[in-house]
Amino acid sequence: MNKTSYKKHFLFLSVLGIVLFFVNISLGSVMIPIQDIMAVLMGENANKESWEIIVLNFRIPKAITAVMVGSGLSVSGLLMQTLFRNPLAGPFVLGISSGASLGVAFLLLGSSLFGGVLMSGTLSNWTLPIAASLGAFLVLSAVIFAANNVRNTMSILIIGLMFGSFASAIISVLSYFSEATQLQQFVFWSFGSLGNLSWNEILVFAVFYVLAMCGIFPILKSLNSLLLGENYAKSLGIPIQKNRNIILLITSILTGVITAFSGPIAFVGLAVPHLARMLFTTSNHKVLVPATMLIGAIVLLLCDIIAQLPTSEHTLPINAITSLFGAPVVIWLLIRKKKLYV
């Protein structure tokens, strides 16, 4: 595929993303016309004052969250598939998401074992993200320590999976001793949500998101070299250990902050990188990284539109929709039996 074809693909995806962004804002339990949305964005008054409140305080933050979550998880999945040279690697293989879930579990479920102290701050909007961030940071520290003490990249993958299993085991113990209402709270959090963030929370989210994304572009050449193996990358003078740590850190930051603010959202990070490879027919990360970001944002905006059940007061769990989308894609990729990570 030549540069002209790439530009056409990027133009189409950009237009589609913008259209879905505005459709996402307009649909929901209350249908808001596009012209009123544009009026609110331009600082003018909508036909109803309630529409202005809905658009500014709920719909736009949710759409922005969907863009950051979708693109962040997708890029994380691409980095993991490249680092481990495994088409089934995803953003959660390092156990970071499990660590975040463990932090939330201690907060929501731990009061049965540790008394009511842990639940005292749950009324704050920041309590769950802080608990999830602490859990993710602990696992991140352990993974980085392990990465600096093992030479084999696959060993890091196994260590990450073991951390995830360990965290899941503790969550199971906490769940066993928790009360029904506490367990319900944790289950609802595990469904994932894009619509619970305030503008202040989105600002904090965006800072970590931008920092992580900016860290990717200096290592694009290294990512292309890793596709042919670590020995080949070493022969080109690529500092393997340094770049491995950068990839792990970027993925951990993105996965941790996304899980902290939106809960664990499955399959997007696993399926979208493959869609980007098929659409652009390339393994060049200078093309794949921006393509994956765009497609990831589009996919999650579309999933959120479906989850809202337009004209209905009910909203389906975003995790259910992403799994319904992602699972068939992964199955189809396995049936094709192609070497998808190179």
283 token code pair: 């393994």
302 token code pair: 């579309």
pLDDT at residue 144 greater than cutoff 90: no
| Residue 335 confidence (pLDDT) | 75
Q: Which residues contact 65 (CB under 8 A, 6 or more apart)?
A: 194, 195, 197, 202, 205, 261, 262
pLDDT band at 127 (very low <50, low <70, confident <90, very high): confident
pLDDT band at 331 (very low <50, low <70, confident <90, very high): confident
* Mean pLDDT in residue range 257-261: 91
pLDDT at residue 122 greater than cutoff 50: no
pLDDT at residue 116 greater than cutoff 50: no
For 98-123, give one letter per residue: b (16+ CB within 10 A) or e: bbbbbbbbbbbbbbbeeeeebbeeee
Q: Which residues contact 207 (CB under 8 A, 6 or more apart)?
A: none
Q: What is the dihedral of CA 260, 207, 288, 141, to 10 degrees?
A: -50
Nearest by Cα to 262 from 80, 128, 137: 128
- Rounded CA-CA distance 148/244 in Å is 9
| Residue 120 confidence (pLDDT) | 45
* Mean pLDDT in residue range 240-248: 87
The CATH code of domain 3-336 reads 1.10.3470.10
Q: Is the pTM of this model over 0.75?
A: yes
User: Could you give the 3-state DSSP secondary structure of residue 19?
Assistant: helix
292 in Cβ contact with 216 (< 8 Å): no
pLDDT band at 85 (very low <50, low <70, confident <90, very high): confident
Amino acid in the structure at residue 220: L
pLDDT band at 178 (very low <50, low <70, confident <90, very high): confident
- For the chain, the domains span 3-336
Angle, helices 240-262/96-109, rounded to nearest 10 degrees: 30
95 token code pair: 């156990």
Q: Is the dihedral of CA 23, 24, 27, 32 positive or negative?
A: negative
**What is the number of alpha carbons within 13 Å of residue 113 lying toward its C-beta?**
14
Nearest by Cα to 94 from 133, 142, 131, 132: 142
